[in-house]
């Protein structure tokens, strides 16, 4: 008979009903040095609020490490530890395993403690993907891996990553006179990949800080469900995306409303589009043209009309041809445009 792995108890983290019902306590406070308008810093703040005081946070190298832990100061009120750039997965698993052993041996009080390891897109979707993958195959350890995606290696001056959108201007893909588009690869589908490849992982979701309550409740679900989980946040970055910091919130909304960043969750194997994405898919609101999103950001300022059309066509494809809009990039053979000849 197959052994059913039972995970340890988790904290009861019911969804927050409204912004007015949020606790006033902050566990990520002042004293950091992130740029004005940094949505990743907002993610840290809301993640800590969503998780509450009995939480350990581990952070891999990147802006959210460097700017938040200047020598002799930190904005973290909960225990926090730095981990190596590609190590969010192993840091999460190792910490969850250590807590389990210490509690079993009676060396610390037996209580559910949230373990959250965050990583950037460079540290997570590129360098640390194998460690994250390994962690998501261990159903007996409770931990959340939170990927904050500012679509570049921002801390080292905006080099392109596997998460950088097609055509964007980064320090590794500066448009020139002869070649305008220097980055020809499409962004990795990290959340879909994590969900599809790890059947033991009970919860994967995408979030945006422009929808803070939705994001906090998603992180609470990820922490409460048990076992290892993965949440992917798209975080506008004024420095890397080259826009005025006051636009951060609007650009986050545009990413969702243009269909560039679909919001969804996969809970116990059930896939559900959420928030505005669900409304777009149900035909209740119109998907905005991607031009509205691209023209707000300097990193796309070199785009010609053809480039914008190409970008739009790829987003349309994601919405109309994928097995599930924005989530699963397969097509049923019968629906494929040009099924290969036998």
Ligand X SMILES: Cc1ncc(C[n+]2csc(CCOP(=O)(O)OP(=O)(O)O)c2C)c(N)n1
DSSP track, 228-295: EEEEEEE---HHHHTS-GGGHHHHHHHHHHTTSS--EEEETTEEEE-HHHHHHHTTSSPPPPTHHHHT
Interface pick for ligand X out of 112, 122, 175, 228 (rule CB under 6 A): 122
Tell me the C-alpha to C-alpha distance, in Å, between residue 283 and each of 182, 209, 210, 278: 36, 24, 21, 9
Task: Give the residue among 237, 230, 211, 259 at the shortest CA–CA distance from 128.
Answer: 230
Give min distance, CB of 207 to ligand X, in A: 17
Q: Which does 61 bind (CB under 5 to 8 A by kind): ligand SF4, ligand X, Mg ion, none?
A: ligand X
Q: How far apart are CA 144 and CA 140, in angstroms?
A: 13
Site for ligand X in 257-316 (CB under 6 A): none
Interface pick for ligand X out of 62, 139, 165, 212 (rule CB under 6 A): 62
Q: The tokens of 291 are what?
A: 């031009």
Strands 203-208 and 114-120: unpaired
Give min distance, CB of 169 to ligand X, in A: 16
Nearest-Å Rg of the Cα atoms of the chain is 20
**Cα 215 to chain centroid, rounded:** 10
Contact region for ligand X (CB under 6 A) — 6-14, 119-127, 248-256, 294-302? 119-127
Give min distance, CB of 152 to Mg ion, in A: 5
Q: Which does 145 bind (CB under 5 to 8 A by kind): ligand SF4, Mg ion, ligand X, none?
A: none
Task: Give the residue among 261, 251, 246, 296 at the shortest CA–CA distance from 35.
Answer: 246
User: Taking CB under 6 A as the rule, which mask of x and - marks residues 75-114 in contact with ligand X?
Assistant: ----------x-----------------------------
Return the number of the residue (8 or 121) whose C-beta is nearest ligand SF4.
Answer: 121
Site for ligand SF4 in 101-160 (CB under 6 A): 150, 154
Return the number of the residue (8 or 121) whose C-beta is nearest Mg ion.
Answer: 121
Give min distance, CB of 83 to Mg ion, in A: 16
Neighbours of 292 (CB within 10 A): 13
Q: How far apart are CA 165 and CA 224, in angstroms?
A: 32
Site for ligand SF4 in 59-98 (CB under 6 A): 63, 67
When asked if residue 155 is in the footprint of ligand X (CB under 6 A), the reply is yes
Return the number of the residue (64 or 96) whose C-beta is nearest Mg ion.
Answer: 64
Bridge partners of residue 119, in order along the sequence: 147
Interface pick for ligand SF4 out of 124, 131, 238, 326 (rule CB under 6 A): 238
Task: Give the residue among 151, 162, 160, 168 at the shortest CA–CA distance from 307.
Answer: 168
When asked if residue 39 is in the footprint of ligand X (CB under 6 A), the reply is no
Give min distance, CB of 119 to Mg ion, in A: 9
Binding site for ligand SF4 (CB under 6 A): 34-35, 38, 40, 63, 67, 150, 154, 237-240
Binding site for ligand X (CB under 6 A): 61-64, 85, 119-123, 150, 152-156, 161
């Amino acid at each position: 008979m197959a052994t059913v792995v039972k995970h340890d108890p988790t904290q009861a983290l019911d969804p927050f009903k409204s912004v007015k019902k949020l606790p006033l306590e902050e566990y990520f406070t002042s004293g950091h040095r992130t740029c004005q308008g940094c949505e990743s810093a907002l993610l840290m703040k809301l993640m800590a609020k969503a998780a509450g005081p009995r939480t350990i946070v581990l952070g891999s190298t990147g802006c959210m490490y460097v700017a938040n832990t200047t020598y002799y100061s930190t904005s973290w009120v909960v225990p926090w530890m730095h981990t190596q750039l590609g190590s969010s997965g192993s840091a999460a698993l190792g910490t969850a395993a250590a807590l389990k052993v210490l509690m079993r041996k009676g060396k610390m009080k037996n209580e559910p403690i949230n373990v959250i390891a965050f990583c950037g897109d460079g540290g997570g979707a590129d360098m640390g993907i194998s460690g994250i993958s390994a962690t998501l195959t261990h159903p007996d350890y409770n931990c959340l891996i939170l990927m904050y995606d500012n679509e570049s290696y921002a801390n080292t001056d905006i080099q392109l990553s596997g998460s950088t959108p097609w055509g964007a201007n980064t320090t590794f893909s500066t448009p020139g006179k002869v070649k305008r588009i220097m980055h020809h690869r499409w962004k990795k589908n990290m959340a879909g990949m994590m969900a599809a490849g790890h059947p033991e992982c009970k919860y994967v979701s995408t979030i945006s800080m422009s929808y803070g309550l939705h994001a906090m409740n998603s992180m609470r679900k990820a922490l409460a469900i048990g076992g290892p989980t993965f949440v992917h946040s798209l975080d506008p970055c004024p420095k890397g995306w080259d826009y005025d910091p006051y636009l951060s919130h609007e650009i986050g909304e545009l990413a969702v409303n243009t269909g560039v960043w679909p919001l969804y969750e996969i809970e116990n194997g059930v896939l559900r589009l959420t928030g505005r994405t669900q409304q777009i898919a149900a035909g209740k609101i119109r998907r905005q043209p991607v031009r509205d999103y691209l023209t707000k950001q300097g990193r796309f300022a070199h785009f010609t009309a053809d480039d914008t059309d190409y970008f739009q066509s790829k987003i349309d494809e994601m919405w109309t041809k994928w097995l599930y809009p924005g989530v699963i990039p397969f097509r049923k053979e019968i629906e494929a445009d040009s099924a290969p000849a036998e």
